[in-house]
Amino acid sequence: MSKKEKLSVESYKGVRDFYPADQAFLNYLLATYRAVAERMGYVEYHASVLEPAELYKSKGADNEELVNEQTYTFVDRGGREVTLRPEMTPTVARMVSAKRRELGFPLRLFSIPNVFRYERPQRGRLREHWQLNVDLFGSPSLAADAEVIAVAHTLMKEFGAEDKDFVIKLGSRTFLNTLMDTYALGDEARMRFLGLLDRRAKMPAEEFAAALGEMNVPLDALSADTAPADVAEVLDLLATLGIQNAVFDPSIVRGFAYYSGMVFEVFDTHPENNRALFGGGRYDNLTSLFDDEPITGVGFGMGDVTMHDFLSVRGLLPAYIPPTKLYVAVADKEMVPHALSIAADLRAQGVATAVDFGDKKLSDQIKAATKHSIPYLLVVGSNEVTSGTFVVRDLASGTEESLKRAELSAFFLNL
Ligand code: HAM
């Protein structure tokens, strides 16, 4: 093959390859998501990434931009229209509706799906991301709204954030519905109005004011200085839980049509990353897609991409440490059987060990161990085998320790 005919090593536009250090970060993120959700009394569920396309097309299920422009939809070999899920909420609503008689309520569920959206890739936005979903079904109580926000707050703290690093902005669909009634907006104008508010932060103030003017809604209609009753009560409950960095912001809308009550969005306060990190809200009618008697829901989705940016600008990313503790190198090829035997012993005792096959000279073996960020190295040579004493080198500091073969596992297990 000529050079031209080689395939590109680039990944598909807007998706990522996870090399070991990237995967280690993702694992840390997901483990933290899982630990906090479980501690707050939520249990994990999962579902396939494939859904029938109609799940996202039904009226009220989603926002139009997402359905018409941002889904990955294809026709399968049986002629069915299939969509790679762009979010988890319709899926979990479907699952809860399907087993409404078996499931106990209030029902606390979480999941960490990979989701797909055909978006223009940019900072914080990709075509694929991992998204923690925390949802509480079957309670109309505002204490449920406060609880899911408390889960969000606890997550931020668990990642090392302080209250000053983020602000939780609460909006109210009830407030906006009243406002839209006051200005007699019809169905179509309501969608445009909500969409406009959702894009507000991304457009010049004059452009926003002009678009609002076209709908005959005065700008100051949005500048409510007192929180509506539902939001005020949620803020009170949050204060009881010691959460002080939550405020009412009338322009918080969220892009989905299914939200019906309180909505919230968590913002980064860092000047270099001043953006929405994640959000959610109450959706009391979504399950009416499946059943006449709706089950109330409230929850949020928290993506890995925006959290990575949040942690990165604050130096809160954990350092990469591979699971492998020790690299067993060999002075020459004859030593390989000894190296394999030492590695097998250590592995049997629970020490994560990688071994070199002696294909390259020792200095190259050490370079490989360093590239892998493996913390310790041990070289097997004939002297070591004869004496039964091995030198364990800390590759970062260069310090060495001589140990008998029988002492090796204890050394690593006590690190
Ligand atoms: P969403 O705001 O569309 O809500 O997404 C939730 C979060 O997922 C975002 O705030 C962001 O952290 C992340 N996210 C969304 N799209 C992208 C993207 N293209 N690239 C990277 N990250 C992204 C929902 O999806 C709702 N279903 C959440 C929910 C659950 N509401 C109630 N329960």
Q: Does domain 326-413 have CATH number 3.40.50.800?
A: yes
Is residue 276 within 8 A of residue 266, CB to CB? The reply is yes
**Mean pLDDT, rounded, for 276-291:** 94
**Mean pLDDT, rounded, for 353-378:** 97
The model's pLDDT over 201-227, given as tens digits with 9 standing for 90+, comes to 788 999 999 999 999 998 888 877 788
Cβ of 357: how many Cβ atoms within 10 Å?
Answer: 11
Is residue 378 within 8 A of residue 314, CB to CB? The reply is no
Give the distance (Å) from ligand 1 centre to CA of residue 61.
Answer: 15
Q: Is 278 in the pocket of ligand 1 (CB under 6 A)?
A: yes
Cβ of 313: how many Cβ atoms within 10 Å?
Answer: 16
d(C-alpha 327, C-alpha 352), whole Å: 9
Residue 98's pLDDT is 96
Query: In this structure, which residue's CA is closest to atom 5 in ligand 1?
Result: 301
When pLDDT is cut at 50, 70 and 90, the band that residue 301 belongs to is very high
Q: What backbone phi and psi angles, to 5 degrees, belong to 264?
A: -145, 160
Give the distance (Å) from ligand 1 centre to CA of residue 66.
Answer: 11
Give the distance (Å) from ligand 1 centre to CA of residue 117.
Answer: 10
Q: Is 296 in the pocket of ligand 1 (CB under 6 A)?
A: no
Nearest CA to 266 out of 243, 287, 289, 284 is that of 243
Give the distance (Å) from ligand 1 centre to CA of residue 277.
Answer: 9
d(C-alpha 204, C-alpha 196), whole Å: 12
The model's pLDDT over 129-186, given as tens digits with 9 standing for 90+, comes to 999 999 999 999 999 999 999 999 999 999 999 999 999 999 999 889 888 999 999 9
Question: pTM for the complete prediction?
Answer: 0.93
Domain with CATH 3.30.930.10 in the chain: 20-313
Residue 3's pLDDT is 64
Domain with CATH 3.40.50.800 in the chain: 326-413
d(C-alpha 139, C-alpha 59), whole Å: 24
Q: Tell me, which fold does domain 20-313 have in CATH?
A: BirA Bifunctional Protein; domain 2 (3.30.930)
Q: Is 302 in the pocket of ligand 1 (CB under 6 A)?
A: yes
